[in-house]
Structure 1
Amino acid sequence: MKLNEYKKLSEEEQYRILWDDGELIDACLEGEVKKLLYAVDNFYVELWSHALTNKVLWRLSFKQGKLLEKYLNKYSAAIVDDLTGT
């Protein structure tokens, strides 16, 4: 499935695909907000939810750009630290 096809689906269908086919790539907790990054086919979905209620606060699907770069930068630094022992 391509990103533009996913975006044309109903919200209910998008969530079904996210839960059934999405692969959790990263998760972090910032205060009361859980930020989750999923990979679905050839694109990503970032989902923010309330940590206690699991109510979805925000959701965005994308292929690249600043939203993805913040995750890539996070892991690039971690890999470098592992390799250098710092």
Structure 2
Amino acid sequence: MTLYEFNALSESEQTEALKENGVELTTRSDGESTVTLYQIDSFYVEVYAHKLDRRYRSFLYTDPLEPYLGSIDITGLFDKDK
């Protein structure tokens, strides 16, 4: 799935695509919202959840990942025997 295909989906279809294809990376708090970061193929999706409201933000570039950098554990990516 591409970013453009994801953005063309309805909100319920986007939710289903995240369940089926998304990898949850981390969650953070943004004021009164909880923001969950997912990766699908080569792009990212943030899900902003606030009470009964839910909003999606998708992007290709890594600049919006900055708020998450301190909370993503990458230690499993390195081979300890090398």
Structure 1 length as normaliser, TM-score? 0.67
Superposed displacement of residue 75, structure 1: 5.0
One-letter identity of the residue aligned with 1:24: E
The aligned counterpart of 1:69 is: 66
The aligned counterpart of 2:49 is: 49
Cα displacement string for residues 31-70 of structure 1 (whole angstroms, at most 9, x for unaligned residues):
54211101111111001113xx4642x2101111431233
Structure 2 length as normaliser, TM-score? 0.69
Identity %: 36
Unaligned runs of 5+ in 1: 80-86
SS in 1 for 2:7: helix
One-letter identity of the residue aligned with 1:70: P
| Aligned CA distance change for structure 1 residues 54 and 34 (closer, same or farther; 3 Å) | farther
Task: Kindly indicate which of the two structures has a greater share of residues assigned to helix.
Answer: 1
Q: Within 2, Cα distance between the matches of 1:9 and 1:30?
A: 25
Q: Please report the RMSD computed on the Cα atoms of aligned residues, expressed in angstroms.
A: 2.4
Number of residue-to-residue matches in the alignment: 74
